[in-house]
Structure 1
């Protein structure tokens, strides 16, 4: 129930719909009971014409309320019909039909208003989850599979709507229907109603025992759904590699194993769930059967109950079965929803370790330098950087080179605060980046990565991510600087051409130039290039290198490079090995030292 309370917090903005639902549910429950009670005078007109009441009855107090109401309706029917019994019958039938009509109108209105609440909560949970996913640090998604996160925001949230929020429909309507029905049943026969209550707890205990393990089974189903969605996501992302290595059958087997487990868990869950309906049905009919025996005895033998009241009573007793079954079904839904809510709330309540401090300042300009002081960092167990120091002055281009795993990209991740340092500090103009708001910190920086991250949208919109409200002229100018304008205008729809999922309609060089155009449009004072030319062919590299040099002019740049030809003109080249600086200087200085840098250059057949 703790999860249920947390989910209900999302219903607060829609509480007016909740109150309207409750109001109409109260009316529905009342008319649901009255519609069966109205059968008594109709049956009296049909079967006991000799009992007509010709004088208006006198009200003698609450204890005689049932007899008074029955006699009063009888009197009104008799007065209306006169000597024509069919007129009386038509009147009573009309009364019953009106009551049933009102009952169903109120039921529709109750469901109409709860729909806004249910779908509003669904929308808000999904919006909050998406915002949380975007806000969480990159490290969170190194631990969680993407497919599992997708399952939580889709099927788990939908399960909450089908289970927890369905309970909102029942929480007032069904219990009130039972209460009003039981009150009228007590009014007809106290003795018979007390007899019914002997069997209800027994039925409740049996149904409760069936559903005890539902949450556990539901948890398994939802986890397995996240598993096979992850496999689908990985398959679509790596389809080229899967086909190249003829691994289709291997991945199919992995997927098949997951869906087989999902099949077993789902069967177990649904079979337990499906057992509830026939069990509840049988127990309900059992109660009806016992009522027929006991009530029939009261009518035929004891003569303490009249036949019309008994028939109406049986209708009321059956009227309890539907809400009782709905409540039973809802209890299973809560158990299933519990597992889904737990998974959703796990994401929503995840703490983001990389957050703005209380006194975080907004920094809109860059004046002096970036200083990395005694920084140590590890992703898991082993340190990638240890006591690392580096200073980049304004206007300088500093290149980081070294073998894979030496810590180059880690420095870019730390400066942009995708990760936080374990020890030490990173300063911009003397201010610790932890004391600068993340938004303004990243606003100072442009990022071009090795993997061109593009979106399934137009060329125009992909470049426009660099600057909110950018004009077409600014976008075209940025594309020209990135040497991308010529190929863009040759596309089928120019700047309005959709580039496909991850930009897969473009070549690697074209994708990279769009990424650079996006960074050019942003026009930040600090540029971080993380192996920005490594994916390019020689011709594209020449085009992009010209663009990069234009972009880096009069700008502070931190360049991470594998291709050493791209950093020859850097103000300072820092050679890394296992997270430590082993050499530092200009290209010419490092070539003269004949140490690690020169070996790297020679390995790439670079002629100085």
Structure 2
């Protein structure tokens, strides 16, 4: 079925109604109460007008007579002051309902926003690594920071849409009670006027598509510029990136201005035409000899109802403007779910005999074969080194061993059991991993290391720092392990980052420690410290290390040489 704005909007509304029925029922009930008291307040205008004009019992309206019966039943005399008091009380109660409705709408918004944000997060991070490598990071960031929030704002618009419909229905009941002919004429006129404005919804959807697309581009440039700030400054290209960001922002600004102007203009364009209908209704009431008090009620009710029709049209355009944000969020979630990480049901606890790679081949989409019929054994408690030129498949092999890549041919066996039969989370929780470009979080050294295992003791933390040869430089910091490292560890040297990353990896006492070019970018002193740390850890842990330098792998029990995706030598 072709995807249209209405299809996406129906899906969004249906999804919310299905998952949050009680919140919506509560919100609708409050709007219903608010509109009922609003209608009651309008009806009290008839006796107010009759009493101000001093009409006798034969000339008063039916509304006034009915209200007099109600007040008499309550033991309250029918006076101007009692009518005004009723008008005041009904308005106060109506506004009390409005306040509670506003609170409920805001609460509902964030409940639904939380549902979509966490759902999107779960779908993204349950996908295979390939999902992240194939998507633009700016689009992913924009989806979280902007588009999902737009979806949250759509909840407010939807609540306003529902409120307006309830208000129109109940407020129209008042003039229908007075003169169905006049009300029908006014309603027909309002509908005819609204028809051209419905076309604005399609235009608003196109502006929404432009807004989402330009927002993706803008966030993409911003994210890349922040992530590569050192390179941007190192090349002296700040002006170039600023120009790219400025251009992207201007495109986003133009799309936003068009969309917001269109949505806001609908109501303002509708109001003068609505006044024409009111004038016609007033003249028609005079011709039909409608009593003055009832004419006042009718005109007041129409004055509140007709602008609501314009509001309804404006809200419809706003909802269609939001639709592209919802479509992008759901599209990415669908892609992530289709690329979901396969999970076995077998929990992983310990590594017994070792890992066996049997005739494994792997190809990235649109590329030549990266691994070609690889077979090797990685015994438990030993260090296995994988060496080879750049692009020979070393990191791809590690990704295979960590379960990041789907095995196309062959298999990886852990203690004789296929890797795909294990629960991947339990397996990876027993792995320590140090990539070539180690990344630290913008928090303290302590928190960075404890991120791997939050319940680790101070003794375990100190042991991890000692094994990683990190305690020496940490003691030189005034705040010690509570030193904030900055975004991605920017306040530390490369060697210090690698040693903290190594401490983080060994804190959980992993069954398998994987080091991917962990010393390739370090100076000789830092490399020696890392090598010493690896040598001590290797006494009790199974280690797989990828490296270029012979000095890094000379302590390995087994060395595997890769060339163009094939093992050419091992021993």
Partners of 1:354 and 1:420 within 8 A in 2: no
**Pairwise mapping of residues 303-314 of structure 1 onto structure 2 (< 5 A)?**
304-314=289-299
Please tell me whether residue 128 in structure 1 is matched to residue 146 in structure 2.
Answer: no
| 1:44 Cα deviation after fit | 0.8
What are the residue-to-residue correspondences of 1:204-603 with 2, within 5 Å?
Answer: 204-298=194-288, 304-349=289-334, 350-351=336-337, 353-357=339-343, 360-381=345-366, 382-585=368-571
Hey, what does 1:59 align to over in structure 2?
none
Say yes or no: does 1:114 pair with 2:114. no
Greater CA drift, 21-30 or 450-459: 21-30
Q: 1:536/1:190 Cα in 2 relative to 1: closer, same or farther (>3 Å)?
A: same
Please report how far the alpha carbon of residue 208 of structure 1 lies from its aligned counterpart in structure 2 after TM superposition: 0.3
Q: 1:353 to 1:149 in 2, by over 3 A?
A: closer
Q: CA deviation at 1:336?
A: 1.8
Return the offset for 1:352.
Answer: 5.0
Instruction: Tell me how far 1:14 sits from its aligned partner.
Output: 5.1
1:58-117 CA distance string (max 9 Å, x none): xxxxxxxx96543243578899999xxxx9222221121111112111121222222221
CA shift for structure 1 position 190 = 2.0
Are the aligned partners of 1:32 and 1:103 in contact in 2 as well (CA < 8 Å)?
A: yes
The separation in 2 between residues aligned to 1:373 and 1:239, in whole angstroms, is 43
Query: Residues 129 and 405 of structure 2 are in contact (CA less than 8 Å); yes or no, is this contact kept in structure 1?
Result: yes
* Aligned equivalents of 1:489, 1:328: Cα separation in 2: 66
Alpha-carbon shift at residue 13 of structure 1 (Å): 6.5
Find the aligned partners of 1:305 and 1:555 in 2 and give their Cα distance. Answer: 94
Aligned equivalents of 2:16 and 2:108: distance in 1?
Answer: 9
Q: Which runs of 4+ in 1 moved over 3 A?
A: 1-17, 48-53, 66-69, 72-82
**What is the DSSP-based 3-state SS (H/G/I as helix, E as strand, rest coil) of the residue aligned with 2:359?**
strand
- Cα contact 1:18–1:113 (8 A) shared by 2: no
Q: Structure 1 residues 352 and 50, CA, compared in 2 at 3 Å: closer, same or farther?
A: closer
Residue 7 of structure 1 and its aligned partner are, at CA, apart by 4.1
Does the residue aligned with 1:370 lie in a helix, a strand or coil? strand
1:73–1:567 Cα change, 3 Å:
closer
Q: Secondary structure at the match of 1:468?
A: coil
Q: Which residue of 1 aligns with 2:24?
A: 18
Tell me, yes or no, if structure 1 residue 168 matches structure 2 residue 159: yes
Q: Give the structure 1 partner of residue 67 of structure 2.
A: 73
Pick the aligned partner of 1:152 from 143, 150, 159: 143
Give yes or no for contact 2:453–2:508 (8 Å, CA) kept in 1. yes
Residues 3 and 338, structure 1, Cα contact 8 Å, conserved in 2:
yes
SS in 1 for 2:202: coil
Consecutive unaligned residues in structure 2, runs of 5 or more:
1-5
Q: TM-score, normalised by structure 1?
A: 0.87
Task: Using the TM superposition, name which of 560-569 and 437-446 deviates more.
Answer: 437-446
| Deviation for aligned residue 1:6 | 4.8
Which sits farther off after the overlay, 7-16 or 331-340?
A: 7-16
TM-score (norm 2): 0.93
Question: Which structure has the bigger radius of gyration?
Answer: 1
* Structure 2 residue matching 1:498: 3-state secondary structure: coil
Does residue 191 (structure 1) correspond to residue 181 (structure 2)? The answer is yes
- Provide closer, same or farther for how the CA distance between residues 489 and 262 of structure 1 changes in structure 2, counting only shifts above 3 A: same
Query: By how many angstroms is 1:354 displaced?
Result: 4.9
Question: How far apart in 2 are the matches of 1:570 and 1:77?
Answer: 97
The correspondence for 1:47, drawn from 50, 53, 57, is 53
Q: In 1, are the aligned partners of 2:387 and 2:546 still within 8 Å (CA)?
A: yes
The CA RMSD measured in Å over matched residues stands at 2.3
Q: CA deviation at 1:205?
A: 0.7
1:37-74 deviations in Å (ceiling 9; x for gaps) = 11111111111434469xxxxxxxxxxxx965432435
Aligned equivalents of 1:109, 1:496: Cα separation in 2: 45
CA contact (8 A) 2:516 2:546 kept: yes
Pairwise CA distance, 1:310 = 0.8
3-state SS of 1:131 partner: helix
Given that residues 218 and 336 in structure 1 are in contact (C-alpha distance below 8 angstroms), is that contact kept between their aligned partners in structure 2? yes
For residue 93 of structure 1, the aligned residue among 80, 84, 97 is 84
- Larger CA deviation: 398-407 vs 109-118: 109-118
